[in-house]
Amino acid sequence: MELKRVVVTGLGAITPVGNSVPEFWENLVNGVSGAGPITHFDASLFKTQFACEVKDFDATKYIDRKEARKMDLYTQYAIAVAKEAVSDSGLDVEKEDLNKIGVIFGAGIGGIHTFEEEVGNYYTRQEMGPKFNPFFIPKMISDIAAGQISIMYGFHGPNYATCSACATSTNAIADAFNLIRLGKANVIVSGGSEAAIFPAGVGGFNAMHALSTRNDEASKASRPFSASRDGFVMGEGGGCLILEELEHAKARGAKIYAEVAGVGMSADAHHLTASHPEGLGAKLVMKNALEDAEMDPKEVDYINVHGTSTPVGDISEAKAIKEVFGDHAFELNISSTKSMTGHLLGAAGAVESIASILAIKNGIVPPTINHEEGDNDENIDYNLNFTFNKAQKREVNVALSNTFGFGGHNACVIFKKYAE
């Protein structure tokens, strides 16, 4: 069977550094940090009192106020990015076969705030008997964003959520890519969203010692590959990509951002939360993606790394890159946009895929900010080009995006410049 080619024709983003794709990209290129004091709740008693929150988000710009009340914040973000992406793609829904348009949209955690709020209300008022919001379950479950997007547009194609912690939305993109190239759909709305900057989310990650506690320097706390890194900075938001079969896109005259070249998946099979110290799963997932794309490692120009700013994770990923790419590793641009957006958990893969695609489109590699001169980890080879502190112009024909999740889930997607 001859596999169909798959291209990206629409993008949508709500992030801590911009509530649209153009704003997101401008701030990435300019090295803007999205970190600041937590405003979603009083975090004064928490070890970590800052995060990368979305700013000035108004759900009613995208959803009727009454409908928005039936949705957790993570679903509101999903609706917002899906609307931007579908609009950007130029799809005329009235002219499409809606049975051939699907939605694969994930969340690593889902409606944690809704769960926290409803259970909290029960325990503070239990003498009155159990009283729960009738929308409690559909607000909370991590598949509901995909369902809400399909309901909004009437898309009857494949519809489900992926959930693989911080690899979630890369897995959504991978599944969408595979279904389209197998001819199971013409178009799939893919991506992920997350909204976990609430007491249970921050407290849970604090208890694991996963978050930075640099409360006095929030904007500089996410510092991937720096020796002084002390954990990740939690982010929130969403990203959405419209993946489309090439001939279908050409037939309707769609603009094409990039082509999806290949995907890879693997497992560390090592630890609940820590990556393998030698990067075994990371090496395997990148090799799998390159094999799927039928690419030589030397063809890759840019890697948007997982790069969370954790002591072990950054080391293992840098080791994996050197092993997979050999001497070419030193010719690559590498950057972690989490240094600016924070870690969007299940939405990270989609948002970082958008950054990778725009690097191809614009010939600019966004930076890894917050690296200080002399701040070197002896376990990391600083001969690698981590694009520290300032964006770099270069032709990017191929970009690879890595995401790794708790449980040892690894997912990788490769994009390339579209050519006939």
Q: Is the pLDDT of residue 126 over 80?
A: no
- What DSSP assignment string belongs to 304-336? E------HHHHHHHHHHHHHHHGGGGGTSEEE-
User: How many angstroms separate the CA atoms of 171 and 177, rounded?
Assistant: 10
Rounded to the nearest 5 percent, the helix, strand and coil shares of the chain are 40, 20, 40
- Read off the pLDDT of residues 353-399 as tens digits, 9 standing for 90 and up: 999 999 999 999 999 999 998 889 999 999 999 999 999 999 999 99
* DSSP state, residue 350: H
Domain 263-416: which topology? Peroxisomal Thiolase; Chain A, domain 1 (3.40.47)
User: How many angstroms separate the CA atoms of 204 and 20, rounded?
Assistant: 30
- What DSSP assignment string belongs to 237-298? EEEEEEEEEHHHHHHTT----EEEEEEEEEE--S-SSSPPTT-HHHHHHHHHHHHHHT--GG
> Which pLDDT score is estimated for 373?
87
User: How many angstroms separate the CA atoms of 385 and 383, rounded?
Assistant: 6
* 350, 240 contact by CB (below 8 A): yes
- Read off the pLDDT of residues 10-46 as tens digits, 9 standing for 90 and up: 999 999 999 999 999 999 999 999 999 999 999 999 9
> Which pLDDT score is estimated for 278?
85
Identity of the amino acid at 173:
I
- Count Cβ neighbours within 10 Å for each residue of 96-114 and write b for 16 or more, e otherwise: beeebbbbbbbbbbbbbbb
- Count Cβ neighbours within 10 Å for each residue of 223-243 and write b for 16 or more, e otherwise: bbbbbebebbbbbbbbbbbbb
Which residues are part of the catalytic machinery? 166
- Read off the pLDDT of residues 68-88 as tens digits, 9 standing for 90 and up: 999 999 999 999 999 999 999
Q: Please state, for a pLDDT cut of 90, what percent of the chain lies above it.
A: 94
Q: Is the pTM of this model over 0.95?
A: yes
Residue 362: which H helix or E strand, with range? Answer: helix 348-362
Q: 419 in helix, strand or coil?
A: coil
The structural domains of the chain, with segments of one domain joined by +, span 7-251, 263-416
> Which pLDDT score is estimated for 276?
83
Domain 7-251: which topology? Peroxisomal Thiolase; Chain A, domain 1 (3.40.47)
User: How many angstroms separate the CA atoms of 8 and 162, rounded?
Assistant: 19
* 6, 260 contact by CB (below 8 A): yes
* Domain 7-251 matches domain 263-416 at the CATH topology level: yes
Distance from chain centroid for Cα 29: 17
Cα–Cα distances (Å) from 262 to 91, 173, 175, 253, in that order, read: 24, 10, 11, 24
* DSSP state, residue 367: P
Q: Is the pLDDT of residue 127 over 90?
A: no
Q: Is the pLDDT of residue 327 over 90?
A: yes
Write down the residue that tokens 């900057």 correspond to.
197
